[in-house]
Amino acid sequence: MTSLLSLRGVCSGYGHLQVLHDIDLDLEKGTVGALIGPNGHGKSTLLRTIAGLNKTWSGKITFRNAPVPPTPADRAGAGIILVPQGDQLFADMTVEENLIMGGYTQSDILRLRQSLDAVYALFPKLADRRKQRANSLSGGERRMVGIGRGMMAEGDLMLIDEPSLGLAPLIIEQIYAALAALATENRSILVVEENPSRVTNIGSQFFLMDGGQIAWRGDRHELSGFDDILRTYLGG
Ligand SMILES: Nc1ncnc2c1ncn2[C@@H]1O[C@H](COP(=O)(O)OP(=O)(O)OP(=O)(O)O)[C@@H](O)[C@H]1O
């Protein structure tokens, strides 16, 4: 199977601080890849680098077998959509207005409506709250709007940074069930999750990040060794 996203020898960082060291990663179409591991080891930086917010210092990123465009806006236009950590919603706008902002490049009103309907089908709670301002939503609802706004951009690849952060277990389950449903719609997802047990059911490929490198990678069939890996890296 050919990769939707492919990284070879990717290095990146901030100013003089190198965070990512020689990252090789492939993600196939229609699958969920999970970037796992403790805080501060470069998971967010990797998503930002794929999205173009951090410059690729060296190495190569290809998307649909072509080099990624240079700017974040062009990468988003090509179908690489980042759902950042923290929700970064427009606080004074309603749920629906925030969602529509995600589809700002879509000029076909019918397509926009269909995308909105798809978000509401996945997150029925948001349909009930479509006129409610973002600043009055619960943490879980805000996260749903963040993911929904990413869906509105109709990308082939969603990069989702720690969707479970700060949420109650029941809400986390709902969010991950939604992500699993999204991936079966021929959309690929690369999700950051500190706690791997939350993604074992939906991930098909796992990448453990340690010190800005991929220290372990495996698919579902290799999950039998997962417990040892968790103990080593997360003390779990
Ligand atoms: N804007 C920034 N400027 C300078 N250094 C940064 C910046 N953002 C992150 N870093 C540093 O890069 C390293 C990796 O951080 P990163 O956020 O990618 O890790 P992470 O594994 O995603 O952890 P977390 O889940 O806490 O975000 C850390 O040492 C962090 O301090």
Report CA-CA distances (Å) from 55 to 15, 23, 184: 10, 14, 31
Domain end: 154, 172, 203, which one?
154
Domain end: 123, 154, 185, which one?
154
Name the domain count of the chain.
2
pLDDT in tens, 49-90: 999 999 999 999 999 999 999 999 999 999 999 999 887 899
Which is the closest atom of ligand 1 to the Cα of 46?
18
Query: How large a percentage of the chain has pLDDT more than 70?
Result: 93
Could you tell me the distance, in angstroms and rounded to a whole number, from the CA of residue 105 to the centre of ligand 1?
Answer: 30
> CATH number of the domain that 203 lies in?
3.40.50.300
Q: Which domain holds residue 145?
A: 87-154
Q: What is the pLDDT of residue 223?
A: 63
Report CA-CA distances (Å) from 229 to 27, 40, 75, 214: 21, 18, 33, 13
Q: Are residues 44 and 161 in the same domain?
A: yes
Q: Which residue has the higher pLDDT, 185 or 114?
A: 114
Query: How large a percentage of the chain has pLDDT more than 90?
Result: 67
Q: Are residues 75 and 161 in the same domain?
A: yes
Nearest to 178 by CA among 51, 83, 64, 48: 83
ipTM over 0.90: yes
pLDDT in tens, 147-201: 999 999 888 999 999 999 889 989 999 999 899 888 876 789 999 998 877 888 8
Closest Cα to atom 31 of ligand 1: 40
Q: What is the pLDDT of residue 51?
A: 97
Domain end: 154, 178, 196, which one?
154
Instruction: Report the C-alpha gap between 232 and 12 in whole angstroms.
Output: 26
Q: Is the CB of 41 under 6 A from ligand 1?
A: yes
Q: Are residues 168 and 234 in the same domain?
A: yes
